[in-house]
Structure 1
Amino acid sequence: MTDIKLIMPEPWADYELIDSGNFQKLERFGEFVLSRPEPQAIWDKSLSDADWERQAHATFRRDRQSPERGDWQTSPTMRDPWYVSFKQGGLQLRFKLALTTFKHVGIFPEQANNWQYIHDRVTAISADVPRPKVLNLFAYTGGASLAARQAGADVTHVDAVKPVISWARENMDYSELDNIRWVVEDAVKFVRREVRRGNRYNGIILDPPAYGRGPDGEKWVLEEHLNDLLKSCADLLDRTDFFFIINLYSLGFSSLILDNLMGQIFGTVPNPEWGELCMTDSHQKRLPLGVFYRFAS
């Protein structure tokens, strides 16, 4: 049995978690500082409210009628959209960011360690497989897809939301990459069809939400559908040269649940790592931002 790990990205120039607390986080993305809700930051802020107000170029305010949506209060100097770069190890990526009504901006910085992991695994597999096949499910704006593609993978990027696919395609262009396969479809339907076709992938990446809807109204509920989806993914994963990553952001979803699922479905796997994704703010408070499980041949 492996020990639970805390995965924290290495510092990168265009991102900084400045402070967290009172159910909020203060972050710098490139030249702009944003204040956003963060339900797990239950401790006190280290900086004063006046400091937060002075630094923030944009502050997200929730709509009282909606637990998810809201709007942004912005300073006159705030640009929307804007762009950031990620340069680390062998990766050089560029992303478009934008202020959305769901508080998201287009990247999850805590995933930076996984981007490097994906790049390294694809590079290693390429020694035996000239063009490794990678499947990215619930792929959002494509950070993981770009990391795999830059390492030379044949990438299939699946998301149910067409505008998000368009955003990911822009990020591909900004990162000077090409030839990612874009699929606008419900992830469960796509995976089941790939199993029937007998297809295999060297790498599979999953970032499923707690709840969601497919393009034809398909309902996704994490607790109800994850087990079956993982079983189908096990059928798709190459038996010789492979890696697998899953991230979950649902509050209260323990990494122990993932460990149990993976043990039952995949059995004994090589080089397993599992635990929590987190970021450390500039005052040394560690902010949990999801759980993960990954392994590789």
Structure 2
Amino acid sequence: MADIQLITPRAWSEYELIDSGNFQKLERFGEFILARPEPQAIWDKSLSDADWERRAHAIFRRDRQSPERGDWQTTPDMRDPWYVKFQQDGLNLKFKLALTTFKHVGLFPEQADNWVFIHDRIKTISENVARPKVLNLFAYTGGASLAARQAGADVTHVDAVKPVISWARENMDHSELDNIRWVVEDAVKFVRREVRRGNKYNGIILDPPAYGRGPDGEKWVLEEQLNDLLKSCADLLDRTDFFFIINLYSLGFSSLILENLMQQTFGNVPNSEWGELFVADQAHKRLPLGVFYRFASSL
């Protein structure tokens, strides 16, 4: 059994975590610096509030009537949307970023190590499989889908929110890729149907939220439905040439819980890694940004 690991993406010129603390984080995406909430940054900031205010091009202010929504206070030179590139280990991707009312900008930089993992695993699988099939569930704006497609995979991208699918399609175009299959559907329904059809995938990627709604109002609650969804995914995964990744960002959902679920569902899989994803700020404070579990038939 593999030991718990802490994984952070390699240095990326288009992104850095400048500071974190007091339930906030100060980040640079390309040429713009953003300040937004971060519930796990319970320590003190290293920089002063005045320094944050001076540096930030956009600051997210929560709506007092909503625990999730808010507005951005921006400087006159802040562009929205704007674009960043990711160029590492054979990947050459371009993402559109935008200021949303949910504080997100369309990109989760801590996932960069997983993008490289996906790209490398598909290249290895391609030695045996002409066109590996990859399923990306709760796929959001498509960083993992783009990495898989650029490696040569046949990619199915599933998300319940149509505007998010449109955003992911734009990222595909900006990255000069094509032929990703877009599916606007509840992930649980889609997976169950694929199992009934007897379909198999060489790679499966999951990044489920704590709570969510499907396009027809289907309710998703992570702790209530994840166990059954993983069992269905196990039925979909090819058992000769394969990889599997799951990421969770939910307060109170530890990597030990995820490790137990994965061991129960998949057993002693090869080349398994599990633990926490983090990004360090300039003062070397390590900000946890989710737990993960991944394995592959070969490395």
Give yes or no for TM over 0.5.
yes
1:203 and 2:203 are equivalent in the alignment: yes
Structure 2 match to 1:133: 133
**Amino acid across the alignment from 1:253:** F
1:111 and 2:114 are equivalent in the alignment: no
Aligned runs of 1:208-287 on 2, under 5 Å? 208-287=208-287
**Amino acid across the alignment from 2:153:** A
Paired residue secondary structure (1:282):
coil
Cα distance in 1 for residues equivalent to 2:240 and 2:221: 32
1:100 and 2:100 are equivalent in the alignment: yes
Paired residue secondary structure (1:225):
helix
Structure 2 match to 1:149: 149
**Amino acid across the alignment from 2:42:** I
**Share of identical aligned residues, percent?**
86
Paired residue secondary structure (2:39):
coil
Cα distance in 1 for residues equivalent to 2:257 and 2:269: 16
> Displacement of 1:211 after TM fit?
0.1
Structure 1 match to 2:291: 291
> Displacement of 1:162 after TM fit?
0.1
> Displacement of 1:65 after TM fit?
0.8
Cα distance in 2 for residues equivalent to 1:127 and 1:39: 43
Structure 1 match to 2:10: 10
Cα distance in 2 for residues equivalent to 1:67 and 1:234: 35
Structure 2 match to 1:192: 192
Cα distance in 2 for residues equivalent to 1:137 and 1:176: 22
**Amino acid across the alignment from 1:210:** A
Cα distance in 2 for residues equivalent to 1:286 and 1:227: 29
Paired residue secondary structure (2:247):
strand
> Displacement of 1:2 after TM fit?
1.2
Paired residue secondary structure (1:123):
helix
Cα distance in 2 for residues equivalent to 1:247 and 1:66: 26
**Amino acid across the alignment from 2:137:** L
Structure 2 match to 1:60: 60
Runs (5+) with no aligned partner, structure 2? none
Paired residue secondary structure (2:72):
strand
Cα distance in 2 for residues equivalent to 1:258 and 1:269: 14
Alignment deviations for residues 267-289 of structure 1 (CA, whole Å, 9 cap, x no partner):
11001000001000011000000
How many residue pairs get aligned? The number is 297
Aligned runs of 1:67-78 on 2, under 5 Å? 67-78=67-78
Runs (5+) with no aligned partner, structure 1? none
TM-score (norm: length of structure 1): 1.00
Paired residue secondary structure (2:11):
coil
**Amino acid across the alignment from 2:208:** P
> Displacement of 1:174 after TM fit?
0.1
Cα distance in 1 for residues equivalent to 2:132 and 2:55: 44
Paired residue secondary structure (1:41):
coil
Alignment deviations for residues 3-41 of structure 1 (CA, whole Å, 9 cap, x no partner):
110010001110010000010000000000000000000
**Amino acid across the alignment from 2:151:** A
Paired residue secondary structure (1:215):
coil
TM-score (norm: length of structure 2): 0.99
Paired residue secondary structure (2:229):
helix
Cα distance in 2 for residues equivalent to 1:124 and 1:282: 35
Q: CA RMSD in A?
A: 0.4
Cα distance in 2 for residues equivalent to 1:10 and 1:192: 36
Cα distance in 2 for residues equivalent to 1:269 and 1:146: 26
> Displacement of 1:161 after TM fit?
0.1
